[in-house]
Structure 1
Amino acid sequence: MERRAVEGRLDSLIRDNRVTIAITFPLVGTVLLIAAAEGVVPRSLAFNPFLLLGAVMVMRLPLIGGLAPLINRRVATGLSGLVGFSWGIELLGVTTGFPYGDFEYLIELGPMLLDAVPIALPVFYFPILLNSYLLCTLMLGDRMESLPIRFLSVLLVVITMDLVLDPGAVALGFWGWDAGGAYYDVPVQNYVGWLISGIVAVGVLTLSFDADALDRRLDRCEYVLDDLISFGILWGLVNLYFGNLVPVALAAALLVALFRADWFDFAGLTRTTPQQPIEQ
């Protein structure tokens, strides 16, 4: 099957199921994650790595389908480099404590690389970096042509997303730091690590994607940032359940940023004007 046909089918699948993917899945996921943490679901289902990865991949479909038409050799090379970087920096962090602090995975997230890092790590790692870059591109427009503005704005969103993610993940018992930390048991050093990751990611994504093509795709594909909606709903509610109010406020701020950017309406989860796929 030709690439364009595959992309077209994926595009239609996502458009026809936006509410299910962006809202229903994170709502159901929130209930199941909290139930697993509270021990009220069978052990065979509680944090089952295959169920977790399957659900995450469904919520990643908008990001995959949204960027698929832009993937060429240069983009593929850049993203492959980020895959290697994500594994490398995570292995460094787990084995040495730098740059994220002394932490460890407490729940199996699928097969492990060198018995230390989930092989599927990029599935969890990429969306923070990509969604941050895409959100800033959408909201800042021509101002993203300034490298200082691009780096500072994307880094701000990256840190904001991790300020939401890590407290919820720690509360669920996904991973944790040996000595805890000042921010909902997350140490400040963790965010130094994310600054490093963000700087590398902005550089790689800047060199990989054609800025004009990315702008056109964001303008014409109404669902490409739906993964950020899923993120805000799932981790906002998880943090709300555990009483982590600052992450809840930050998750709400991310959703409001999308709303103010006219990315979606809460009722129909659609833009007001129909969008067409990017020209191939």
Structure 2
Amino acid sequence: MKQLVIAERYCLIGHILAKTFGLAGLLLVVPHADAILRLLPDGQSLFQWSVEKSMAGGGVTDILFGLAAVSIFAYRTVGMRLTLAFMLPAVAISLTSELLGTGTGFPFGDYSYLSGLGYKIAGLVPFTIPLSWFYMGFSSYLIASVALNTNKSNWLRQVGAILLGAMLFTAWDFALEPAMSQTNFPFWYWAEPGAFFGTPYRNYLGWYGTSALFMSVAAILWRNPRLNLNRAQLVVPLIVYLSNVAFAAAISLAFGYWIPVALGLIFGVIPVIFLWWMAQPSTDAVVEAATGVVNNPSVKVALK
């Protein structure tokens, strides 16, 4: 278990560092490339090549580290069965929605991915996109589930966790869309820019509907798993969520898109912190946070 905790922490640090370097590149290097090139008259080709490679590979590295961190965390806290019961529907349903979206325009609108996020499945959707849907969706749903104490057999709690989890997930996209499609180094573009800072309103309905769908499937597959997790055990998904929103918000704010960021704050950051705080504190929280040893016998019983 200790080795898993160490690997999880390294992956989480790598996820955050990759975002930090990517942020520096997008906000400092790319906008001032001409000035930097004038200082490197003998190394212009090398500089241009390094910028293109680092920007193209940075997004992939970032997402893979996020996938690894959340996957290890999920396995360590809820077990393999529940991890796969969330991961497989999340990846399959989000990929299906993305392929439909890039191929037909439903449910998000008419858009296309550029080359900054890795190999494209069917030439349309980068393989990293459904992976990010998984780790951000899992982080959002788990925090909502624990806060609403869905281990009690109450379908209203289950529905509430799905609705809140999908809201948190979609709130991430408020800041993400202008950052990824309206800046100097876009990762996708809209064939017909929408009314909301270049994004069609239907895109957010598509995000909410898709995330609510795979969270609903996961909730059915989980079958009342008795998630008796505390605040200390939810720190990793909280950090993953906040760091991803912060990355998108920093880019959007740099280009003056403060309204989408404000919406992400109102519907994402504030609620997720409140929901995290609703989780029960534990007398073992300090020990668990320091050692990574999870004392969660209820999950073990549910997995038998």
Q: TM-score range by the shorter chain?
A: 0.7 to 0.9
In 2, the alpha carbon distance for the partners of 1:75 and 1:223 equals 15
Structure-2 residue corresponding to 1:55: 62
1:99 paired to 2:107: yes
What amino acid sits opposite 2:102 in the alignment? V
Instruction: Measure the CA separation in 1 of the matches of 2:144 and 2:272.
Output: 10
Instruction: Name the CA shift for 1:258/1:90 in 2 (closer, same or farther; >3 Å).
Output: closer
Cα offset for 1:272? 7.1
Aligned length: 266
TM-score where L is the length of structure 1 = 0.80
**C-alpha separation in 1, matches of 2:163 and 2:274:** 20
The counterpart of 1:277, out of the listed 294, 298, 304, is 294
Q: Which one of the candidate residues 19, 27, 31 is aligned to 1:38? A: 31
Structure of greater Rg:
2
2:281 is matched with none
Change (3 A) 1:59 1:114: closer
Question: Alignment partner of 1:224: what SS?
Answer: helix
- The corresponding residue for 2:37 is none
* Matching residue of 1:65: 72
Pairing 1:235–2:248 present: yes
TM-score by length of 2: 0.74
Does 1:153 pair with 2:159?
Answer: no
Shift of 1:31: 1.1
Check 1:98–1:235 CA distance in 2 against 1; reply closer, same or farther (3 A cut).
Answer: same
Match status 1:123 vs 2:140 = no
String of CA shifts for 1:187-206, please: whole Å, max 9, x gaps.
01111211220221221220
Q: Quote the residue 2:196 is aligned against.
A: 183
Q: Displacement of 1:185 after TM fit?
A: 0.3
How far residue 140 of structure 1 moved from its aligned partner, in angstroms, is: 2.8
The aligned amino acid for 1:12 is: I
Change (3 A) 1:99 1:249: same
- TM alignment of 1:196-211, pairs within 5 A: 196-209=209-222, 211=224
Equivalent position of 1:225 in the other structure = 238
Q: Which sections of structure 2, spanning at least 5 residues, go unmatched?
A: 34-46, 278-283
Deviation at 1:113, TM superposition (A): 1.3
- Superposed displacement of residue 51, structure 1: 2.9
Which residue is equivalent to 1:8? 2
CA distance in 2, matches of 1:252, 1:93: 26
Q: CA 1:210–1:29 in 2, change beyond 3 Å: closer, same or farther?
A: farther
Greater displacement, 229-238 / 146-155: 146-155
* CA distance in structure 2 between the partners assigned to 1:190 and 1:108 by the alignment: 21
CA distance in 2, matches of 1:86, 1:272: 34
In the other structure, the counterpart of 2:147 is 139
Note closer, same or farther for the CA distance 1:32–1:209 as it changes in structure 2 (3 Å cut): farther
Q: Secondary structure at the match of 1:38?
A: helix
Q: Give the aligned partner of residue 268 of structure 1.
A: none
Give the Cα separation in 1 of the matches to 2:241 and 2:235.
13
Of residues 122-131 and 225-234 in structure 1, the stretch that sits farther from structure 2 once superposed is 122-131
Task: Give the Cα separation in 1 of the matches to 2:189 and 2:59.
Answer: 18
Q: Cα gap change, 1:151/1:262 in structure 2, threshold over 3 Å: closer, same or farther?
A: closer
CA pair 21-114 structure 1, distance change in 2 beyond 3 A: closer
Q: How does 1:246-257 map to 2 (within 5 A)?
A: 246-253=259-266, 254-257=268-271
Larger relative helix fraction: 2
5+ residue gaps in structure 1?
A: 1-6, 264-270
Shift of 1:141: 2.9
Q: Deviations over 1:29-84 (max 9, x none)?
A: 21123346536263443364333211232244432221013343464255223322
Q: Secondary structure at the match of 1:274?
A: helix
**CA deviation map 1:79-117 (0-9, x unaligned):** 223322222221111111111110011234211111111
Note if contact 2:11-2:65 (Cα within 8 Å) is conserved in structure 1.
Answer: no
Q: Is the 8 A contact 1:23 1:229 kept in 2?
A: no
Name the CA shift for 1:213/1:133 in 2 (closer, same or farther; >3 Å). same
Residue 4 of structure 1: aligned partner:
none
Question: Sequence identity, in percent?
Answer: 21
Contact 2:144 2:275 (C-alpha < 8 Å) held by counterparts: no
Preserved contact between residue 100 and residue 191 of structure 1 (Cα < 8 Å) = yes
